Structure 1
Amino acid sequence: MSDVESAGSGNNAGVSPTRRNVLRGVAGAAGVAMAGGLLAACGSDDDKKSSPSKSSGGTVGGTVTFGSNYSDAAPKAAFAALTQAAAASTKAQVKINTVDHNTFQQNITSYLQGTPDDLFTWFAGYRMQYFAAQGLAQPLDDVWEKIGGNFGDAAKKLSTGLDGHQYLVPLYNYPWVVFYNKSQFKAKGYSIPTTWDDYIALAKKMKGDGIVPIAFGDKDGWPALGTFDILNMRINGYDYHVKLMKHEIPWTDQGVHTVFQHWAEIMPYMQTGANGRIWQDAAKTLETKKAGMMFQGTNQVAAQYVSDKANLDDLDFFTFPAINPAYGQDYMDAPTDGFMLSKKAKNPDAAKAILEYIGTGQAESDFLKTDQWDVGLATGLQVPTYNAIQKKSVTEIAKCKAVAQFMDRDADPAMATAMISIIQKFIDDPSTGNIASLQKSAESQAKAIYS
């Protein structure tokens, strides 16, 4: 997911690293230097978008700086290997500036307006479109002329700005699903729930067995957005989700109220004290079998197992159970991550050559030899190294009639930030009266933001 930035306000600089940030990472290898200070500079810039420029292609020289939010040990190592290979292919040197994920998001606007790196890690869909529309990123149409054949229409659409130009080179996506340990389910005789009633019944059984039914940590704010998303899509459908994120449906709508009502129904089975717990600690309760299930992305839970050297072979998942038969299990969040070229890039030709390399099936295949939780987006990708989690991810994403990009990517950044606070207040008090009050607050803020 994830991915909330507070429109440059930087109000939460002290929050703990999240969204794929578990442990300190490893340094890069030859041709890749690791450095700090990614978000140190702030400044101002005009809002004019540049027209698509031509990349030089082929072999280029010089140094390309790369702003990265891959601060967890496992993705940091995979990213270092990817950029090392890109450096070897293009003969450019790559200098990676790594910042923990939350700080990266909270300061992204001021970072891009100040003295940004040439390239930076970011997210597909609305989040990409938002900064492209602000004139803070350069179009990559010329890069896509060379790599376009490697991706399907859906990937290209997710990489396209509101002006019709491409601004992102995608790398992977990953599903948000319900994780569990196979050995625990076998030992306890638990069955995979496919309906809401089955899910509640299983949670009750786990609680009776002295197990926390649903591991849950929301200190960083964004994890709970995923729970809202899946309940919303299960109850109201994908189109409703899209319209709500655009504020074409008011937050006071009965559909939103129904989402919160269902969430309140499972709150007694979710790990208490969630607002004071980071998701990594929640995942550890699943690893140690103190919890029976956890709803989050493979990019977090499976990566956490890898980082902790836990038994990844014991980890499995199922798609969130159906609630409204009209929508069944047709939709899920499956966020796409990739890379963008900053408006102020100092070495754009070399940076584009790096992106041209990254946008190949071979580059994705090499990356996925190190990455054991995401799935590649290049068409016809051959990845013999995929483990059971990755193979199942490909299958389950393909079953969906549509996939969302996560609330903090599909909505206006300011609205996503507002919803973090609102949902945390709901977690503290899921009463019906509070739900109505929080809906009114969300609608009031949405009117101000979207006007």
Structure 2
Amino acid sequence: MSVRRAPSARPSPDHGPSALWTPSRRALLAGAAAAAAGPLLAACGSSSGGSGGGGSSSKTVTLGSNGSDAVPKKAYAALWAAAGKSTGDTLKVNVKQHENFQNQINSYLQGTPDDVFTWFAGYRMQFFAKQGLASPIDDVWQTIGSHFTPAIQALSKGLDGKYYFVPLYYYPWAIWYRKSVFKQHGYTIPANWDQFTALLKKMKGDGLVPLAFGNQNQWPVMGTFDQINFRLNGYQFHVDLMHGKESWTDARVKKTFDMWASIMPYHQQGAAGRKTEDATGFVRDKKAGMIVAGAGTAVQQFTTDPAALADLDFFPFPEITPQWGMDTVEAPCDGFMMSKSPKNKTGATKVLEFFGSPAGEKAYLDLDSSELAAAKDFDNAKNTALQKKEAALITGAKNLTQFMDRDGNPTFVSTVMIPALADFVRSPNTFAATKLSNIEAQKKSIYASS
């Protein structure tokens, strides 16, 4: 099995080996913030690895890509070739370094963008759709819709209910552990919050760190907030909170932080000075019982030891409120959008239809097996048992979220929530009483201007 990487940073320092290090997720958040709220940045131009945007003939489709790192670049090249062969069009690809693409996305889309471009599901997609910087693609979904679950279909819609996004791959967040550690101590998988907290106490009593934890990168902590919040308050409240429609001073948000604070004593101490991949190493070395993480973060510390990798497993974040059960899974998804005024809309439509087909996903994933196909009817015979379990978790979910930095306004997340959650880690017991009013005030200002 190859290393899993966070789709928002391919690969990020938390999701890939140091030899492949590229921008941190926080750097991408900063870029997204500039894109959403700051002054226009320099427009994207041609770069090595692509033939440039430029004009297009009736048989040419231009495509802007953030897949600049070695593995995705090779996989995307196979996808471009397969799309050209299937549609009969020529794809002229403009490859930009991943972080630069994020930083320049606003000016790129307001200038002369390519017909099609790589991007992310969630609020990041909806933001540009709302600004009129992307074309609705309901006609594409008439062709590809049957390949995707209702949850994936919902992720691909703008706030106006129209489709703007074609998904390619995703990965889940969950709680990861070693099967041998659970067997050794007689632990069972917790189904609800009470069982989970009882397990944390038991692990601590057995001399284990119950929850490995690293927040030097500052974004991983958002994944824990997301899962406690939507388990406690339901998918719709969580999404509305991310979209600025609910208040951070709401009693339901306070309860989320209070519940989180109640289990902070079972988190690994010194999180501010520890990277997430280093925290995962404590699970690998059987010094910690569990970690809340995305698949890439969890798997990458086990790839050099086949026996340890075979021992790795996960379970979904346990139920908190029976009404909501475990119907929501955090599963960030990457894919494609169509620009506002494509020069070759007919060709772009055909290309997007291919990207959203099992054949399109196969062309990509044959060369980048670290991701999971978004299509429900994708032939996953080559996937490992762990990957198949991940896919089953996602496809069985009623709702999918995209992580706070994708579901929320990027300016708000980068400038308000990242430092606020760092404060929570330092002082969890006083956070809800002292910080939520300030968060809400800043939210109102930022969302009102977006």
TM-score per shorter chain, which class? 0.7 to 0.9
Please tell me the residue identity of whatever aligns with 1:361: P
2:12 to 7, 11, 17: 17
**Pairing 1:275–2:275 present:** no
Task: Name the structure 2 match of 1:11.
Answer: none
Task: Name the structure 1 match of 2:441.
Answer: 444
- Tell me, in whole angstroms, the C-alpha distance in 1 between the residues paired with 2:300 and 2:219: 17
Any conservation in 1 of the 2:284–2:301 contact (CA below 8 Å)?
Answer: no
Task: Name the structure 1 match of 2:233.
Answer: 236
Task: Name the structure 2 match of 1:171.
Answer: 168
Change (3 A) 1:65 1:332: closer
Please tell me the residue identity of whatever aligns with 1:416: V
Range moving further from structure 2, 197-206 or 114-123: 114-123
- Tell me, in whole angstroms, the C-alpha distance in 1 between the residues paired with 2:219 and 2:439: 16
Task: Name the SS of the counterpart of 1:156 in structure 2.
Answer: helix
Identical aligned residues as a percent: 45
Task: Name the structure 1 match of 2:432.
Answer: 435
1:178-197 paired onto structure 2 within 5 Å = 178-197=175-194
- Tell me, in whole angstroms, the C-alpha distance in 2 between the residues paired with 1:347 and 1:310: 51
- Tell me, in whole angstroms, the C-alpha distance in 1 between the residues paired with 2:111 and 2:17: 28
Task: Name the SS of the counterpart of 2:438 in structure 1.
Answer: helix
Task: Name the SS of the counterpart of 2:322 in structure 1.
Answer: coil
Task: Name the structure 1 match of 2:251.
Answer: 254
Aligned length: 413
- Tell me, in whole angstroms, the C-alpha distance in 2 between the residues paired with 1:113 and 1:276: 40
- Tell me, in whole angstroms, the C-alpha distance in 2 between the residues paired with 1:338 and 1:405: 13
State the 1:118 CA deviation: 5.2
Please tell me the residue identity of whatever aligns with 2:356: G
Q: Deviations over 1:259-316 (max 9, x none)?
A: 1111112222222333333333333333333332111222443356448878432221
Task: Name the structure 2 match of 1:392.
Answer: 389
Task: Name the structure 2 match of 1:86.
Answer: 83
Task: Name the structure 2 match of 1:426.
Answer: 424
Change (3 A) 1:370 1:139: same
Any conservation in 1 of the 2:6–2:296 contact (CA below 8 Å)?
Answer: no
Change (3 A) 1:94 1:137: same
Please tell me the residue identity of whatever aligns with 2:229: N
- Tell me, in whole angstroms, the C-alpha distance in 1 between the residues paired with 2:287 and 2:243: 39
Any conservation in 1 of the 2:333–2:402 contact (CA below 8 Å)?
Answer: yes
Please tell me the residue identity of whatever aligns with 1:199: F
1:296 to 272, 293, 296: 293
State the 1:234 CA deviation: 1.8
- Tell me, in whole angstroms, the C-alpha distance in 1 between the residues paired with 2:118 and 2:341: 15
Q: Deviations over 1:354-386 (max 9, x none)?
A: 433211112223434445454323243322112
Task: Name the structure 1 match of 2:137.
Answer: 140
- Tell me, in whole angstroms, the C-alpha distance in 2 between the residues paired with 1:217 and 1:84: 40
Task: Name the SS of the counterpart of 1:295 in structure 2.
Answer: strand
Any conservation in 2 of the 1:126–1:411 contact (CA below 8 Å)?
Answer: yes
Any conservation in 1 of the 2:14–2:277 contact (CA below 8 Å)?
Answer: no
- Tell me, in whole angstroms, the C-alpha distance in 2 between the residues paired with 1:171 and 1:373: 13
Q: Deviations over 1:139-165 (max 9, x none)?
A: 434544543443455433322323454
- Tell me, in whole angstroms, the C-alpha distance in 2 between the residues paired with 1:344 and 1:305: 45
Task: Name the structure 2 match of 1:99.
Answer: 97
Range moving further from structure 2, 314-323 or 205-214: 205-214
**Pairing 1:201–2:190 present:** no
- Tell me, in whole angstroms, the C-alpha distance in 1 between the residues paired with 2:405 and 2:341: 25
Any conservation in 2 of the 1:215–1:293 contact (CA below 8 Å)?
Answer: yes
Please tell me the residue identity of whatever aligns with 1:17: S
Change (3 A) 1:298 1:83: farther
Any conservation in 1 of the 2:134–2:340 contact (CA below 8 Å)?
Answer: yes
Q: Deviations over 1:425-445 (max 9, x none)?
A: 11121122x322211111111
RMSD of aligned C-alpha atoms? 3.7
Please tell me the residue identity of whatever aligns with 2:223: G
Task: Name the structure 1 match of 2:310.
Answer: 313
- Tell me, in whole angstroms, the C-alpha distance in 1 between the residues paired with 2:15 and 2:83: 22
- Tell me, in whole angstroms, the C-alpha distance in 2 between the residues paired with 1:241 and 1:385: 35
State the 1:327 CA deviation: 2.8
- Tell me, in whole angstroms, the C-alpha distance in 1 between the residues paired with 2:302 and 2:339: 33
Task: Name the structure 2 match of 1:122.
Answer: 119
- Tell me, in whole angstroms, the C-alpha distance in 2 between the residues paired with 1:316 and 1:375: 16
Change (3 A) 1:86 1:44: closer
Change (3 A) 1:177 1:250: same
Please tell me the residue identity of whatever aligns with 1:323: I
State the 1:251 CA deviation: 0.7
Any conservation in 2 of the 1:21–1:100 contact (CA below 8 Å)?
Answer: no
Change (3 A) 1:318 1:56: farther
Change (3 A) 1:156 1:61: same
Please tell me the residue identity of whatever aligns with 1:260: F
- Tell me, in whole angstroms, the C-alpha distance in 2 between the residues paired with 1:250 and 1:340: 31
Range moving further from structure 2, 384-393 or 228-237: 384-393
Please tell me the residue identity of whatever aligns with 1:42: L
- TM-score, reference length from structure 1: 0.77
Unaligned runs of 5+ in 1: 6-15, 27-38, 46-54
Any conservation in 2 of the 1:172–1:338 contact (CA below 8 Å)?
Answer: yes
Task: Name the SS of the counterpart of 1:431 in structure 2.
Answer: helix
- Tell me, in whole angstroms, the C-alpha distance in 2 between the residues paired with 1:424 and 1:23: 24
2:333 to 329, 336, 346: 336
Task: Name the structure 2 match of 1:226.
Answer: 223
Please tell me the residue identity of whatever aligns with 2:41: C
Change (3 A) 1:21 1:98: farther
Task: Name the SS of the counterpart of 2:159 in structure 1.
Answer: coil
- Tell me, in whole angstroms, the C-alpha distance in 2 between the residues paired with 1:394 and 1:286: 23
Change (3 A) 1:2 1:339: same
Change (3 A) 1:199 1:81: farther
Task: Name the SS of the counterpart of 1:121 in structure 2.
Answer: strand
Change (3 A) 1:216 1:86: farther
2:157 to 145, 157, 160: 160
